[in-house]
Structure 1
Amino acid sequence: MSTKSLPKLVGRVPERAVLDDLLVRLRSGDSAVRVLRGAAGEGKTALLDYVTAQASGITVTRAQGVEADMELPYASLHQLCTPFLSEIPALPGPQRDALQVAFGIAAGDPPDRFLVGLAVLTLLTRASEPRPVLVVVDDAQWLDQVSRQTLEFVARRLLAESVAMVFAVREPEGTAALTGLAELKVEGLDPVSAGELLDIAVGGGLEGPVRERLVAETHGNPLALLELSRGRSGAELVYGLDAADTPSVSSRVEEDFARRLESLPASTRTLLLLAAAEPVGDSRLLQRAAGHLGITPDAAPAKAAGLIEFGESIRFRHPLARSAVYRAATPQERRSVHRALASATDPKLEPDRRAWHAAQSCDGPDEKVAEALEQAADRARQRGGMAAEAVLLERAADLTPDQGLRGRRALAAAEAHFSAASPDRATEMASVADLCPLSPLDRARLTRLRARVLFARSRSDEAAPLLLDAASTFATEKSALARETYLEAISATVFSGRVHGPSGAVAAASAARELGAATPGSAPSDVLLDAVAMLLSDGPGEGVPALRAALEPFAHEVLDGRDATMRWLLLAPVALEAFIHHAWDLNAWDVLSARAVRLARDIGALGVLPPALIYASGVDIHHGDLTRAAGLIDEADAIAAATGNAPHAYAALVHAAWRGVEGPATALIDEARHRATERGEVSLLGVTGYVQGVLFNGLARYDEALAASQTGIDHDGFNFTGLSLVEHIEAAVRCGAPEQAEQSFARLDALTLAADTGWAQGIRARCAALVGAGGEPDALYRSALEHLRRDRVVVEVGRTHLLYGEWLRREGRRSDAREQLRAAHDMFEEMSARAFAERARRELLATGDQVRVRSVEPAARLTAQEAQIAALAADGMTNPKIGAELFLSPHTVEWHLRKVYVKLGISSRRELPGALAAIEPDGVTRGIRTPA
């Protein structure tokens, strides 16, 4: 409802206090977000009117979602940003281009919606510099999907900007919208305030019992109190309203709106139906459409009946009034007004709306209209509106008379729904396509889509067989999708933990090899597929050299456009898993993960940035920089939360294990194990075995480490088996189980033999020293240190110093032992790897050495994000560049830097390099490495 009909906002003292506080915070330079949730008619719009009216000295921009079957991508976002469009040219290049394409101002590749979100964040931040900005959105549940998702992203990234956002969400329709943001529940008025509102509406004079009954029957719903008292006779009010036949306040109010239509002239009812069918409310368009219907527009009776309001455009008094008008019309009447609207819509300026109205006017299949919808879908895709593309293609399929073409359009709609993160709708349209005659190639696309939906919902092994079937058909049809789909199948088996068996990674690799080897000049992804297939089919002896040959072309592939970049980013995880767990190549891990992070940042692909950050954090963990790794993990989790995706558990688990704090680590492991069991993600179960091996070996609880690492070995997946063997060997030796240690060493020896890297050779030498295989332990430990230092596998260098020192102490060589144990202790202290540091400390005490306990450095008090921003600032990056790098506004960057200055006892960014170097003995800052 609107407060324009009332002298004041009745009641709502707690709600007004919350909104008043939001404005106070906004005027003081802080950001704020609030989502008003409530049923229809509870007064959410009145509260939005209230906060808008109180926003003196604040720039207010407002938008309203409109319930409609059609969805124009970024339409609502464009409406909100209209006051600030003059600032777009001043945005950073990628953000400017993304926003211009999204708003149809310029042509270009479809923008990533999260890059558009960053552009809107920057735009609002710039707009807030002269005066604060208040963004008000009513009926947010009915915004076009990509606008709602973008605004939600912006709301989650606000921190130190003078920007506030207030959304109103109608429930239950919007239950899933904007979840996780600060909420204000809006319910019916309290009895006293409801009675006061009712007295205002009817001019007073109601008897107490009558007022009480009306308030009770409407549950204090303000719109119901106002609308149901309008035009009622005294007798009706005295005897009260009959709630028995109407199940909800919303339906009672809608019925009341419908009742008012009955007394209106036919031409006015038709005008209202035109307005209900056209969500824009363009009065000139409605006049032209009325002319096509041969009626003279007369809206005065509708305004008098309290159904519409006039402003810059025609607006219904309430969304329930719109739905009441549309539902009261017959199907024939609806088709008639849509036909008129299609005729009245400019085919050059608004071809998409024209096509949609033409579609709604059809009472049967119409290929001409379906083709126009398909063209509109393509334009939506070019603007990055995948949800709109899906809806338009779905309607096009409905209107397609030819069954074969209908199936292809339904399949395209299903693929678009999946890309728009609507797997349920994708499944529905896939079922429609399945009933139509499809070519073998399209049938394979359908199978691949179903596999993708399954894989997105659960990392179980159900997807792999479907992907293999699809890839086989693609191969038969000579489609370029064959190799890509085989890679997807291998990726699915990696996460589902299936290496052997008819649907395992080996089966996928064997089938892929039947395509034949990549020819000279083939795409780097083809060369990579050959290498991974060879690794799985022939083992590391043949596969690892092939992987090494594939690294250079894949790592430096020239990528032409966004689509090519996205394809590279989607294939990178398969390459990374192979190089990490089979080639033992930390350099390749570093190169590929750094490029993945850089590419994802450059194109604003926040959907794939979190896993890229996770892989990069793994490099930092092995380099011994756990603080830097924590910054990447935190950033990945923050972006995943902002984009509505689940966090990636792998790196957090490994990080917690090396930190060695049992309570938090165990909580993470238990949660991951539960999720892995629930989702069928067997690979994650393998990870938990490995990380528990690291954790319990650090805590010197070797029997628990032995049992845990054995589960990682038994998992026998594509990844983490080798790392689990390393933990198992150490635990078995310490538990006095030499046979288990020797068996595991034999497997490890076979896995690392082909990997000619310092990491592989160092691990093999150290484990050989532990089990007494292949030479003198003294020489083996020294060889291990040399190899591991060469590849900068710092955590394993520390482990090797520790194991070497423990062996020397047991050999009675205390002086030599102290040297190794001090090195281990200092390294683990520097890393904040507490369990291993404590284990080294106890060993040093056993040699008679005194161990100095280090005081906590100021850097330890920096949060991961503060350390990340401080390091980038110390490297000379400006606040806008740091913001673009981390998907934050420059104001938020500055806010974090002020906190860093206080913690480090400095006053400017010029002092940052020295302050950070001073607290690190080796001069290496603990921030985030900027990937090259």
Structure 2
Amino acid sequence: MPRNAENPALLGRLRERDQLDGLLRDVRAGHSRVLVLRGEAGAGKTALLDYLSEHPGGGRVVRAAGVEPESEIAYSTLQQLCAPLLGHLDRLAEPQRAALATAFGLSAGQPPQALLVGLAVLGLFAEAAAEQPLVCVVDDVQWLDRMSEVVLTFVARRLEAESVALIFAARRPGDEQLLRGLPELSVEGLPDAEARALLDSVLPGPVDARVRERIVAETHGNPLALLELPRGLTPAELAFGFGAQTAMPLASRMEEGFQRRIAALPPDTRRLLLAAAVEPVGDVTLLWRALQRLGVGPEAAAPAQAAGLVEFAARTRFRHPLVRSACWRSADAADLRDVHRALAEVTDPAQEPDRRAWHRAHAAAGPDEEVAGELERSAGRALSRGGRSAAATFLERAAELSPDPKPRAERALAAAQARFDAGAPARVPDLLAAAELGPLGPLQRARVERLRAQVAFALSQGRAAGPPLLAAARRLEELDLAAARETYLSALGAAVHAGRLGGDDLRHAAEAARGVPAGEDAAGLLLTGLTTWSLQGYATAVPQLRRALAALTTEEDPRLLWLAVPAAQLLWDDAAWQRLTEQAIRAARATGALALLPTALVLRAGALLPAGRFTDASDLLDEAAAIGQATGLPTPPSAALTLAAYRGREAPASDLIAATVRDADARGEGQLHGLAHFATAVLRNGSGRYQEAMRAARQVIAYEDPGVFAWALAELVEAATRAGEPAVAAEARERLAERTGVAATPWALGSQAVADALAGPAGKAEDCYHEAIERLTAAGQELHLSRARLLYGEWLRRANRRTDARTQLRTAHESFTAMGAEGFAERAGRELVATGETVRKRSPGVPAELTAQEAQIARLVAAGRTNPEIGTVLFLSPRTVEWHLRKVFAKLGIGSRRDLAAALRDGP
């Protein structure tokens, strides 16, 4: 088979080759580039990858391909790609080195999380490219194992300045999800002239010109189709194009053509092709040993090679992946089992235990406990490498092969748990149904119910998840008290998420949980506190919630973050809010916890907003969105909503609020309703549309959502006061005092002082403003402090104390502008103008010429972080961090890291 620039598949590919040549030039110039070649089967993607591999322009090429039999073996394609680069492994930081070695089975260790493996691969590529440009080629993306796909997509989105090219070949959209949004090159059919020339080279004789045109049209110029479909057909058979085949998809027709050619080969050659198709990595030595056991000699290879279906060199190489699939589909089931059995017998159980187990599983004609046990051990090894999806697949097959109903049910349940942990909840219900067919003990049945409820909550954090979680918790109560407490806590959390759309679910969950013996661990204390809040009210719950938050002093309970943060907000406890979100970020980054990190980033961003750190919060939200895009994990909208409202940009904020409400209705998440209305109240108060702010705030307080309920009372006091509704403002002030007096934190008391200044006795307003400014200053609440100054300045202006008003309004305006609270800045600016002062507009944040990523790196450097530390935080290689830093120095006109803080401080 030709593999050079004259390859027929490269006819008419000048545009594609020019783009690939440009990509290599960029890489040689020190840049990184990513490209997805996308086209249907046979379009010529592999030929273009061959061209790229054979013309690297001085760079090093490493190549791998997804293989369908390997698609459930964790990290199989990634290990194939990285194997030639492992000589650089020792240059990585110890956590990354250990993660990659464990993922590849080179050493034992804690199961690594995908993000940590991704950082390690990013660093490995960067270290290899430091010697010479690196070209990484990944073919047949549609058959990548899940972990390889996640890691390679993550790396693709973080490459910038490492002199690395990462090129994927994928079929049409739908074959994979994670590569969406990466730069693409569409590989279409050949132009008509080149398509005709290629067709003429394989036609068996003269064919009517109209028939030839029809064939070109039917194949859409697909090179492989033009080469393969006419094979074996006479001129008479070609007289009407491809006849009845035209109704079939093109790939199916090509595969059927390969099946015809395979069927014409001698029996031993067919068996040889089948064994080559089943053997996943192209190991020729292993293949010949297996064939020897099958009684097939080397001479059987000649007909297959002569037919252009396969070649045997250092590795087995099929003409096209469709040849491999045609071999499977044309094989008899008994022959397929025989081939798998032979491959299992020659696979080293010490070096490749998982591949051996997989072959044995496919060789089994019926239940086989020995093979099932071997698969179960393979699942354990997969879990030790972080391959939950692979573990689930091994366990599923182990369950199928289990002759005894009891271990079959246990393995199905374990497979269901592994699928859930792998982030594939939609595949869990069928496995749970299979588990329920076997004899399950009471504890196992409770686990089934609990997992089914967790799946419901993962798929929709709305009302539907609460009742099944509650039922599972009740069943667990007499079997596993710790698991029962945790499940009751999940049921309470689900009811909190359901909010106003959940009816009496919160009360029912709390009443059921109240009878569970209290635990002294963080989960037990949090359950007690939330149960008390639900049933006995805020004041009674405060001491218990404080105990629960105090117990969360280590990084051992990040799974509780989604409930602990609302508890901190309930208590107006900014110190706990900051501590909890900081430790969650540290834990997620240290372990690369994909399931936790997006939520941790969003909650941390929310914690930064009261301090006025909008830019830092926005950076974290961008990071969460990037991870979500790379992994498919959802990101909560909470911080993004609040940030949009405080920024005060009407159109984007309103669009986000409307989208959140639609999503809340669709998913049954009433808590999002409260959050959306709170964001509306903030947005309207910022722009001075007080009637609308009042209506929105009143919708929030119609239901007691944690956190935003009390905050909405504060918004309502301000909106009602300005809208001329003193009775509404007074009632909201009194209800707010019921919370703030019990919480008694500087933040709570400062917020209450603002409400008292607005809606309390007129003669005490100025003293209340002074108290609010003092307390909010002590609390570090820069955003709320600036709002207090704005309100005080407005009060002073209305009292005709313009000089005093200017002082407060100027400070508020400058602070709002610096943090990026545009709506409130404009409101403060209007008030300043009314006092007779001219307002100078200035831009917030860092110097405008810096990009968002450059600004983020500059801030981290100014804070004393090293390049490797910054790379870990931002998921970049240290070399990319240094590249950005050189650009920052040039733009700011400075020469060293120590000058950055001053340059950022003195920016516009």
Please give the TM-score of this superposition, normalised by the length of structure 2.
0.95
**Alignment partner of 1:622: what SS?**
coil
* Counterpart-to-counterpart distance in 1, 2:70 and 2:905: 59
Match of 2:817 in 1: 829
Contact 2:489 2:523 in 1 (8 A): no
Contact 1:525 1:554 in 2 (8 A): no
Match of 2:566 in 1: 577
Q: Offset of 1:749 from its aligned partner? A: 1.8
Whether 2:640 is the aligned partner of 1:652: answer yes
Match of 1:92 in 2: 93
**Alignment partner of 2:170: what SS?**
strand
* Counterpart-to-counterpart distance in 2, 1:321 and 1:815: 85
Whether 2:296 is the aligned partner of 1:320: answer no
1:273-672 to 2 correspondence within 5 Å? 273-297=274-298, 298-497=300-499, 501-504=503-506, 506-518=507-519, 522-555=520-553, 557=554, 565=556, 568-580=557-569, 582-672=570-660
Q: Offset of 1:267 from its aligned partner? A: 1.9
Match of 1:685 in 2: 673
The alpha-carbon distance between structure 1 residues 856 and 768, as it changes in their structure 2 partners (threshold 3 A), is closer
Deviations 1:895-919 (A, max 9, x none): 3223322432323323212212334
**Alignment partner of 1:106: what SS?**
coil
Q: Offset of 1:592 from its aligned partner? A: 0.9
1:173-252 to 2 correspondence within 5 Å? 174-176=175-177, 178-201=179-202, 208-233=209-234, 235-236=236-237, 240-244=241-245, 247-252=248-253
Percentage identity across aligned positions? Answer: 50
**Alignment partner of 1:655: what SS?**
helix
Moved more, 675-684 or 236-245: 236-245
Question: Which ranges of structure 2 fall in alignment gaps of 5 or more residues?
Answer: none
Contact 2:218 2:246 in 1 (8 A): no
Aligned AA for 1:732? A
Moved more, 877-886 or 592-601: 877-886
Deviations 1:509-568 (A, max 9, x none): 3433322122xxx4333333333333333322222222222333312x3x6xxxxx4xx2
Contact 2:514 2:528 in 1 (8 A): yes
Q: Offset of 1:289 from its aligned partner? A: 2.2
* Counterpart-to-counterpart distance in 2, 1:885 and 1:65: 30
The alpha-carbon distance between structure 1 residues 257 and 623, as it changes in their structure 2 partners (threshold 3 A), is same
Contact 1:501 1:507 in 2 (8 A): no
The alpha-carbon distance between structure 1 residues 607 and 724, as it changes in their structure 2 partners (threshold 3 A), is same
* Counterpart-to-counterpart distance in 1, 2:205 and 2:892: 66
* Counterpart-to-counterpart distance in 1, 2:810 and 2:99: 54
* Counterpart-to-counterpart distance in 1, 2:608 and 2:216: 63
Deviations 1:840-891 (A, max 9, x none): 2322333344444446776344344322211211233222221112111123
Contact 1:609 1:636 in 2 (8 A): yes
The alpha-carbon distance between structure 1 residues 879 and 177, as it changes in their structure 2 partners (threshold 3 A), is closer
Match of 1:928 in 2: none
Q: Offset of 1:715 from its aligned partner? A: 3.9
* Counterpart-to-counterpart distance in 2, 1:259 and 1:366: 35
* Counterpart-to-counterpart distance in 1, 2:890 and 2:626: 24
What is the total number of aligned residue pairs between the two structures? 906
**Alignment partner of 2:138: what SS?**
strand
Aligned AA for 1:364? G
Q: Offset of 1:484 from its aligned partner? A: 1.8
1:516-915 to 2 correspondence within 5 Å? 516-518=517-519, 522-555=520-553, 557=554, 565=556, 568-580=557-569, 582-772=570-760, 776-854=764-842, 859-915=847-903
Contact 1:276 1:323 in 2 (8 A): yes
Q: Offset of 1:614 from its aligned partner? A: 1.9
**Alignment partner of 1:497: what SS?**
helix
**Alignment partner of 2:517: what SS?**
coil
* Counterpart-to-counterpart distance in 2, 1:819 and 1:179: 52
Q: Offset of 1:183 from its aligned partner? A: 1.7
Contact 2:419 2:427 in 1 (8 A): yes
Match of 2:106 in 1: 105
* Counterpart-to-counterpart distance in 1, 2:845 and 2:382: 53
Aligned AA for 2:468? L
The alpha-carbon distance between structure 1 residues 724 and 50, as it changes in their structure 2 partners (threshold 3 A), is same
1:263-278 to 2 correspondence within 5 Å? 263-278=264-279
Contact 1:10 1:196 in 2 (8 A): no
Aligned AA for 1:701? R
Match of 1:51 in 2: 52
Match of 1:926 in 2: none
The alpha-carbon distance between structure 1 residues 180 and 854, as it changes in their structure 2 partners (threshold 3 A), is closer
* Counterpart-to-counterpart distance in 2, 1:53 and 1:690: 59
* Counterpart-to-counterpart distance in 2, 1:857 and 1:571: 34
Q: Offset of 1:344 from its aligned partner? A: 2.2
Match of 1:923 in 2: none
Moved more, 865-874 or 636-645: 636-645
Contact 1:641 1:647 in 2 (8 A): no
* Counterpart-to-counterpart distance in 2, 1:510 and 1:528: 15
**Alignment partner of 1:33: what SS?**
strand
Question: Which ranges of structure 1 fall in alignment gaps of 5 or more residues?
Answer: 560-564, 921-932
**Alignment partner of 1:714: what SS?**
coil
Contact 1:407 1:434 in 2 (8 A): yes
Moved more, 810-819 or 139-148: 810-819
Deviations 1:745-767 (A, max 9, x none): 23212222210201111111221
Aligned AA for 1:321? V
Aligned AA for 2:227? L
**Alignment partner of 1:295: what SS?**
coil
* Counterpart-to-counterpart distance in 1, 2:122 and 2:12: 35
The alpha-carbon distance between structure 1 residues 843 and 4, as it changes in their structure 2 partners (threshold 3 A), is closer
Q: Offset of 1:502 from its aligned partner? A: 4.2
Match of 2:38 in 1: 37
CA RMSD of aligned residues (A): 2.4
**Alignment partner of 1:315: what SS?**
strand
Moved more, 858-867 or 408-417: 858-867
Aligned AA for 1:787? R
Contact 1:65 1:140 in 2 (8 A): yes
The alpha-carbon distance between structure 1 residues 802 and 913, as it changes in their structure 2 partners (threshold 3 A), is closer
* Counterpart-to-counterpart distance in 2, 1:714 and 1:469: 28
* Counterpart-to-counterpart distance in 2, 1:500 and 1:60: 57
Please give the TM-score of this superposition, normalised by the length of structure 1.
0.93
* Counterpart-to-counterpart distance in 2, 1:307 and 1:396: 35
**Alignment partner of 2:37: what SS?**
strand
The alpha-carbon distance between structure 1 residues 350 and 875, as it changes in their structure 2 partners (threshold 3 A), is same
**Alignment partner of 2:189: what SS?**
coil
Contact 2:598 2:628 in 1 (8 A): yes
The alpha-carbon distance between structure 1 residues 662 and 171, as it changes in their structure 2 partners (threshold 3 A), is closer
Contact 1:499 1:718 in 2 (8 A): no
Contact 2:809 2:831 in 1 (8 A): yes
Q: Offset of 1:240 from its aligned partner? A: 4.5
* Counterpart-to-counterpart distance in 2, 1:423 and 1:842: 52
* Counterpart-to-counterpart distance in 2, 1:855 and 1:369: 67
The alpha-carbon distance between structure 1 residues 843 and 255, as it changes in their structure 2 partners (threshold 3 A), is closer
Q: Offset of 1:222 from its aligned partner? A: 0.9
* Counterpart-to-counterpart distance in 2, 1:407 and 1:419: 18
